A and B are shown apart, each in its own frame.
Chain A
Amino acid sequence: MPSILLRLSRFMTRHIDGVLLSAVFLLMFTGLLALLSASNGNYARVSGQMMNMMVALAVMWVFANIPPHYLMRLAVPLFATGCLLLIGVAVAGDVVNGARRWLDIGVTRIQPSELMKIAVPLMLAWYFNRNEASLRLRNYAIATVMLSVPVALILRQPDLGTALLISASGGYLIFLAGLPWRIIAALTAAGLASLPFAWSAMHDYQRQRVLTLLDPSADPLGSGYHTIQSTIAVGSGGLLGKGWMNGTQTHLDFIPERTTDFIFAVYAEEFGLLGNAVLLAMYLFLLGRAMVITANAPTLFARLLAGSITLTFFTYAFVNIGMVSGILPVVGVPLPLISYGGTSLVSICLGFGILMSIHTHKKLVQT
């Protein structure tokens, strides 16, 4: 009997990275605390989120057990499917809240852009890995085109947040793949120069968000309301916070979307600067471990994929916290591992599953 248990336990934990998992657990637990407060002590909401976490951890376990080279094989079909689905959305998607993001595939409705969050880095990593031996400028250009297609389709939906995150994940990957500095410099210059054009290409509500960031008080009851109220929540939290479940902004309903995108305002109001520092430290702990895994990844594919996953996770956290504390425009990005919602949890844990897989299948690859 003990031996069966031992083998079962070994089977369960063989491809799990304990350090990464503990960092994930810490953040998840913090998320549950914030959620319980944000939902005014609604245990149903919290147990729902715990169910989401179970599912996400299961997905993580499954992906941790899939060797990286299997994933590599998935890259092209997944990316192709994703692109086709995005085109499908553009042609026949359902409009929800003014944006065409959902596609009805008969059984259920899906958001193909979610799939692309993992399919794009997989595809790019696969592509660079394939051309590892003869990387030329052309390859970077092709990679950029491969990245641009889904990003453009998602921008059209319009879904600025997801488009930015996917661009970031691809951008990190191309940077890590060794994009020459002079190209980076040239692109940066070009990017800055094209800002006015980007401005004119934006939708009105997107421009509004940017303008609101520059001066939230210009439209205090409209688009500025979110930023103003969340900033008040953060600022009034002070050094030590108002105490768990005691945030007035939270409990009197001043923070909009406080269980999802704005949950950081709840956390910051109740736990203060100290709590924020602890949260940043937890994220850094997780990111540090993920970087170590990335640095030690055995193949270019694994390295690039791991690096992209790690930095995309960081981008999620930074963009969300920056938005809630009023230094970035309001984009629909959840706070990873903290915000309520299954989709984001699953896709993030899926990424960590891949990281674990990369880390724990290293020896198998090397031998």
Chain B
Amino acid sequence: MSELSINPGIEIRDSERELQRFRRRLVLLGIFVLALFGLLFLRFFYLQVVQHGHYSTLAEANRISVLPIAPHRGVIVDRNGVLLAHNYSAYTLEITPSKTGNLEATIDELAGIVEITPRDRRRFRKLLEESKRFESLPIRTRLSDEEIARFAAHRYRFPGVEARARLFRQYPQGEIFSHVVGHIGRINQREIERLEKSGRLANYRGSDYIGKTGLEQSYEEFLHGTTGVEEVEVDSGGRAVRTLSRTPPVSGNNLVLNIDAGLQEVAYNAFGDRRGALVAIDPRTGGVLALVSKPGFDPNLFVDGIDPQSWNELNGSPDKPLLNRAAAGTYPPGSTFKPFMALAALFYGKRPAQQVINDPGYFMFGGHRFRDGRPVPLGAVDMHRSIVVSSDVYYYTLANELGIDPIARFMEKFGFGSRTGIDISGEAAGVLPSTEWKMRRFSRPEQKKWYAGETISVGIGQGYNSYTPLQLASATATLANDGVMYRPHIVNHVEDIRTREKTLIEPEPLRDLALKPEHLKIVKDAMVGVNKEGTSARVFADAPYVAAGKTGTAQVIAIKQGEKYVESRVAERHRDHAWFIAYAPADNPTIALAVIAENSGFGARAAAPVARQVLDYHLLGIRPKQPAETD
């Protein structure tokens, strides 16, 4: 407007007006400045007064980080304090994948500083697949001091790689206790979900490991302890600057077992290189003295994740080292079933002990010839002799007389065919055959029906019979304890390491079978006779104590009618399993056991010598110099 039509003639006045206009505009800008500063002040007021609480909270949340402190896991010791599982502190080299650029290159470079075996790499890759990228995963465990020093000098080259002092779980007894103690392993997604459901996840915030098998799993709640928390002030990089408060963790409780590590070792070694299982129980309490499954495996391999190759070796081995034969392996009991059959006969009053049965070496039933394997027929057999020399015909006829369901009802009371409820998981139930069981087991109508002929072989512990060594040991202990049955339990007590307070795992009497003493005496005397003059007499010939026993042979494959079982002609894995049950001392038993030696033939030859070594160690403290020899 006017500014544009400047007349040179009135320059002075114009420049005066110019100045006025300039100052007006300057005042406008001054107001603009004040307005914007006012806006800033309002913003400050909003942030620092109105929203102050909100931002204070955010600043505190920034500043304070709650860190979990993992508790020490309780140790596991045998009844004499021998360490079975313990912790030791060592350095690991850990990689946080999300903080590391090129993972492979980093590992290659690390390998130049500390030893990283192909096995370490395989294990790391497996861990990587199973975990989230921001988790810190071990590439090497148990670093030497020298390796730590070397890494410390080069650590600047490795962002995302840290050396950490960690507690490691170690199982000094290795494979001998693999199926009892079990092992821990890194917590997986399924376990996280389970912990969340049971409301225990918070307690695992600082934990990387959880019990996976054996006692480590079943006593997890006792062993784990309570996670502590530390409130620390952290900087923006997440590094702890100082500790604000600390609630120390509470260490897990220790487990003290009923198992005698010496006995366990003796039993494990007694098998030599045979496969098998042994369960020894204190009949007075149900306390498990030894629980062996051979072959075992080294549980230490599993702690930080097993590498795929070792896993395949274990999992694919025909010897099935991962199978806990003692509790999860089921076998026909063979002739070890006979003492219980004899008790059933007396219980039902079907056959008095004195009644003599003629054993011609076979029993004909329904046109089928049930054989007795021996070359010379036994002839006249009473109950005592039937057990001592293990007559088959005596029990063929007895089973036929009793009938399958009465047999099942009686055997059920001894725990046959049901889980004992021992304090480790993975137990198998086995099969106690009955008409009802067969109805449930089979689908086709003609299969559902129980045939009387099937009862005959049940009498000598063959047929559908299938039990775990644990069940047989428990039944033997019940017999030894005159019919009072205790639940087998491995742990004797749980010990709070701070207060030294012991929580006893009380012997839990399951039931009293109310067996008559005179009946028991007949069977027990016969079992003493087995070791004195019967099938296992040679094995126990020089024993300075009186032990009761019973041999057994479990068929692996059926022998055709009219054919004879010749061991040398049968493939090793099709050979019969050798059984032996025993308790001692006979008059006041402190140990009852069941042994199975797989594919080792007649019970007295392979299984009884194992039992002898175990009883010798338990009762006399004699440590054998070599595995039990086949008699």
Contacts and interface: CB of A to CB of B under 8 A. Distances in A.
A222 interface: no
Given A235-B47, A237-B48, A283-B37, 10 more contacts: A172-B29, A178-B25, A180-B3, A235-B54, A236-B59, A248-B62, A252-B233, A252-B234, A291-B26, A314-B36
Contacts of B47: 231, 234-235, 325-326
B30 interface: yes
Report which residue of A232, A239, A287 has the largest number of chain B beta carbons within 10 angstroms of its beta carbon: A232
A36 interface: no
Contacts of A327: 39-40, 43
17 contacts: A178-B25, A232-B55, A235-B54, A237-B48, A238-B48, A249-B62, A249-B63, A252-B241, A273-B49, A280-B41, A283-B37, A294-B26, A295-B22, A295-B26, A322-B40, A326-B43, A326-B47
Contact of A276 (B26, B41, B63, B234): B41
Contacts of A244: none
Q: Which secondary structure dominates chain A's binding surface?
A: helix
Interface string A225-249: 0000101111111110000000011
A318 B30 contact: no
Interface in A293-333: 294-295, 300, 303, 307, 311, 314, 318, 321-322, 325-327
Interface residues of A, number: 50
B26 A307 contact: yes
A135 B40 contact: no
Interface string B224-260: 0000000001111100010000000000000000000
A280 B63 contact: no
A118 B11 CA distance: 30
A70 B41 CA distance: 40
B3 A135 contact: yes
A254 B3 contact: no
Contacts of A284: 33-34, 37
Nearest to A274: B48
A93 interface: no
B48 A276 contact: yes
B4 interface: yes
Contacts of A287: 33
A272 interface: yes
A99 interface: no
Nearest to A287: B33
A284 to B, nearest CB: 6
Given A137-B4, A176-B29, A272-B48, A253 B236 contact: yes
Interface string B1-28: 1011010100100010011011101100
A175 interface: yes
A106 B466 CA distance: 94
B39 to A, nearest CB: 8
A208 to B, nearest CB: 21
Report which residue of A236, A238, A276, A318 has the largest number of chain B beta carbons within 10 angstroms of its beta carbon: A236
A329 B219 CA distance: 58
A252 B235 contact: yes
B58 interface: yes
A235 B56 contact: yes
Contacts of B131: none
A249 B235 CA distance: 8
Interface of B: 1, 3-4, 6, 8, 11, 15, 18-19, 21-23, 25-26, 29-30, 33-34, 36-37, 39-41, 43-45, 47-49, 51-52, 54-56, 58-60, 62-63, 233-237, 241
Report which residue of B11, B15, B25, B55 has the largest number of chain A beta carbons within 10 angstroms of its beta carbon: B55
Nearest to B62: A254
Contacts of A272: 48
B30 A291 contact: yes
B55 A314 contact: no
B400 to A, nearest CB: 81
A330 to B, nearest CB: 16
A164 to B, nearest CB: 15
Interface of A: 132-137, 172, 175-176, 178, 180, 182, 229, 231-239, 248-249, 252-254, 268, 272-273, 276-277, 280, 283-284, 287, 291, 294-295, 300, 303, 307, 311, 314, 318, 321-322, 325-327
Given A176-B22, A295-B26, A234 B44 contact: yes
Contacts of A311: 29, 33
A96 B23 CA distance: 43
B235 A254 contact: yes
A196 B255 CA distance: 73
A260 to B, nearest CB: 16
Nearest to A235: B55
Contacts of B4: 135-137, 180
Contacts of B63: 248-249, 252
Q: Which 10 A-B pairs have the closest CB atoms?
A: A235-B55, A236-B59, A235-B47, A252-B235, A253-B236, A253-B235, A236-B55, A273-B48, A254-B236, A248-B63
Contacts of A132: 15, 18
A226 to B, nearest CB: 12
A178 B22 contact: yes
A342 B18 CA distance: 38
A236 B55 CA distance: 5
A201 to B, nearest CB: 26
Given A180-B3, A236-B56, A175 B48 contact: no
A273 B50 CA distance: 11
A167 to B, nearest CB: 16
Report which residue of A229, A237, A239, A284 has the largest number of chain B beta carbons within 10 angstroms of its beta carbon: A237
Contacts of B34: 284
A127 to B, nearest CB: 16
Nearest to B19: A303
Given A232-B58, A238-B56, A175 B25 contact: yes
Given A238-B52, A239-B52, A253-B237, A248 B59 contact: yes
Contacts of B26: 176, 291, 294-295, 307
